[in-house]
Structure 1
């Protein structure tokens, strides 16, 4: 099968080639998929895309016209694919449902620890031989209440980690995970109750029509003053403007994010010589109590291996006309 890999990164290519073992003809390009770059897929059976690519209605229509039959995502989320258009064009879509929940959960905890203990600021001072300790006070995590929004694979791992710190865990999900209740004493509550009682909130839900801008000014008003908000899920789950207002008011004491509402077209590239014209991002970067990483929570050796192997597995199944459990059906469409 001829496959065009959009948004290919130098670090992931060896993993893809190793997993492929010469079975498919892979072509790697750095450009992201869009309606403008879809023409590069002429002559290919399948395309592989990442979370920063855009498989909108127009792009899908073009891919269909160029003879593309398959789209395999190198990510779990698929909110960037118009599944309705894909189904109408008879283009099959698959994702990587579980490449490494540990990578994401551990990154979320890393953001929390760095913010809480002021590690970035402390290191910045030491680099200038400034060993002053003023304004570096954090808090013990032991005994604090952590609200986990979404207790699926990633949320479950985060729950286990935070329980190890001695935290009380509040959970919010459409389905109660009885195993988490038994092992870690998770107390499932309403979203409002979770916001009212949590010292720390970590988001681990997919982006859907129901979760789009879930964290807005209404929920922020329920939050404890000075709470920590962590988002390693999808940027669109929070209303960034409302979160900035929450930071200014002191309701949100610290914000750690690996994703951003308007990251498409900004993240995954070096923008140091062309600063993005994005007021909200500029405001966030300027705030000392905000820590942003560029959507790299997934970036571990284990995750890259699993992403590559699952991507090739998806292609193998399509190539051999074998039933594929990772195929995404129209009924699962995201926003």
Structure 2
């Protein structure tokens, strides 16, 4: 077997890690910095598979073009697959694989980093002290102990967040439309309980999102949902940007209904994240408005970015590519199997 793979949205760390790991396998990677879309998919000509990330666009038209070019396998190096038209892939006879779990603790720990930083304002304190300002004025936070945290989505990452929050002595309420029995047992063991979305909104001091993006939950956090939340809510999203109606959140920030907002994802991130725009004029007025708030903290989709998570992503992606060549596509890594 000699499998040729075109990797899109390739960063330096992707190139280094996949090259090193691929050297011991029959998989050969060619790396493209460009995101995959209808304009760039011609780069995949002659390859058996493409390896893609969260902001690559694999809509019906792109998949048709890739299929015509001979591509048989879409290998996602991430857990989410909302950017892939899976029905079109199935119709075209294309395989779709993903990395269903890669160090959920990495994203969970980043979630807590956002919560703690926003609450205790350590990012502002850091800048003040560097400028010789040791005043505490404006830096008051609150203790997490006995605060109610609403966790939306109790997959592997949500459960990891619950485990950490339990250590802080938080009261935990959860919502998941279809929680696994093991998730319910673990949540109960940690003192958490499942409630309706409306109950979660009204009870929580902090709400954190850990669910995949689907058509059903697009803009889950909208103006109506925000109105049900307590004034002074802290809202965290480390899942997918489109779970949040950004304009509704901006409105709530302006009238002080949302006390703090932490984002590791952004609905329009594909044109910004994973690239250096420090010497450019950013023409996205929405993210510029978000960045103007002192109580908003945005990171560039780095929740997954740990050594452990990246090594797991590389290993699982290569395993998926090899399994596909052997016709072994019944495992949990395959969204669309042969």
TM-score, reference length from structure 1: 0.96
Q: Per-residue deviation at 1:182?
A: 3.1
Q: Per-residue deviation at 1:22?
A: 3.7
Alignment match, 1:212:
218
Please list the CA deviations of residues 195-249 of structure 1 after superposition, one character each: whole Å capped at 9, or x if unmatched: 1110000000100011100001111001111111000000000100001111112
Q: Which moved more, 1:83-92 or 1:3-12?
A: 83-92
How many corresponding residue pairs? 330
Question: Among residues 209, 229, 237, which one is paired with 2:235 in the alignment?
Answer: 229
SS at match of 1:275: coil
Question: What is the alpha-carbon distance in structure 2 between the residues aligned to residue 19 and residue 171 of structure 1?
Answer: 39
Question: What is the alpha-carbon distance in structure 2 between the residues aligned to residue 302 and residue 108 of structure 1?
Answer: 17
Question: What is the alpha-carbon distance in structure 2 between the residues aligned to residue 136 and residue 111 of structure 1?
Answer: 15
Q: Which moved more, 1:2-11 or 1:18-27?
A: 18-27
Residue 67 of structure 1 pairs with residue 70 of structure 2: yes
Contact 2:159–2:187 (Cα < 8 Å) also in 1: no
| Structure 2 alignment gaps of length 5 or more | none
Question: What is the alpha-carbon distance in structure 1 between the residues aligned to residue 6 and residue 336 of structure 2?
Answer: 22
Please list the CA deviations of residues 239-262 of structure 1 after superposition, one character each: whole Å capped at 9, or x if unmatched: 000011111121110000000011
Question: What is the alpha-carbon distance in structure 1 between the residues aligned to residue 314 and residue 28 of structure 2?
Answer: 14
Question: Among residues 246, 253, 256, which one is paired with 2:252 in the alignment?
Answer: 246
Question: What is the alpha-carbon distance in structure 1 between the residues aligned to residue 129 and residue 199 of structure 2?
Answer: 41
Alignment match, 1:103:
106
Q: Per-residue deviation at 1:3?
A: 0.4
- Equivalence map 1:140-159=2 (5 Å): 140-159=143-162
Question: Among residues 192, 201, 205, which one is paired with 1:199 in the alignment?
Answer: 205
Alignment match, 1:293:
299
Contact 1:227–1:254 (Cα < 8 Å) also in 2: yes
Question: What is the alpha-carbon distance in structure 1 between the residues aligned to residue 298 and residue 152 of structure 2?
Answer: 20
Please list the CA deviations of residues 90-145 of structure 1 after superposition, one character each: whole Å capped at 9, or x if unmatched: 11111000011101111010000000000111011111111111100000000100
Question: What is the alpha-carbon distance in structure 1 between the residues aligned to residue 198 and residue 269 of structure 2?
Answer: 28
Question: What is the alpha-carbon distance in structure 2 between the residues aligned to residue 113 and residue 178 of structure 1?
Answer: 26
Contact 1:314–1:324 (Cα < 8 Å) also in 2: no
Contact 1:318–1:324 (Cα < 8 Å) also in 2: no
Contact 1:317–1:324 (Cα < 8 Å) also in 2: no
Contact 2:201–2:225 (Cα < 8 Å) also in 1: yes
Residue 80 of structure 1 pairs with residue 83 of structure 2: yes
Question: What is the alpha-carbon distance in structure 2 between the residues aligned to residue 125 and residue 236 of structure 1?
Answer: 34
TM-score, reference length from structure 2: 0.95
SS at match of 1:221: helix
Please list the CA deviations of residues 169-196 of structure 1 after superposition, one character each: whole Å capped at 9, or x if unmatched: 0000123433234311112111111111
Question: What is the alpha-carbon distance in structure 1 between the residues aligned to residue 138 and residue 274 of structure 2?
Answer: 33
Question: What is the alpha-carbon distance in structure 2 between the residues aligned to residue 25 and residue 267 of structure 1?
Answer: 27
Question: Among residues 188, 199, 214, which one is paired with 2:194 in the alignment?
Answer: 188
Question: What is the alpha-carbon distance in structure 1 between the residues aligned to residue 275 and residue 230 of structure 2?
Answer: 36
Residue 170 of structure 1 pairs with residue 173 of structure 2: yes
Contact 2:232–2:259 (Cα < 8 Å) also in 1: yes
Question: Among residues 2, 5, 20, which one is paired with 2:4 in the alignment?
Answer: 2
Question: Among residues 138, 141, 147, which one is paired with 1:138 in the alignment?
Answer: 141
Question: What is the alpha-carbon distance in structure 1 between the residues aligned to residue 209 and residue 174 of structure 2?
Answer: 10
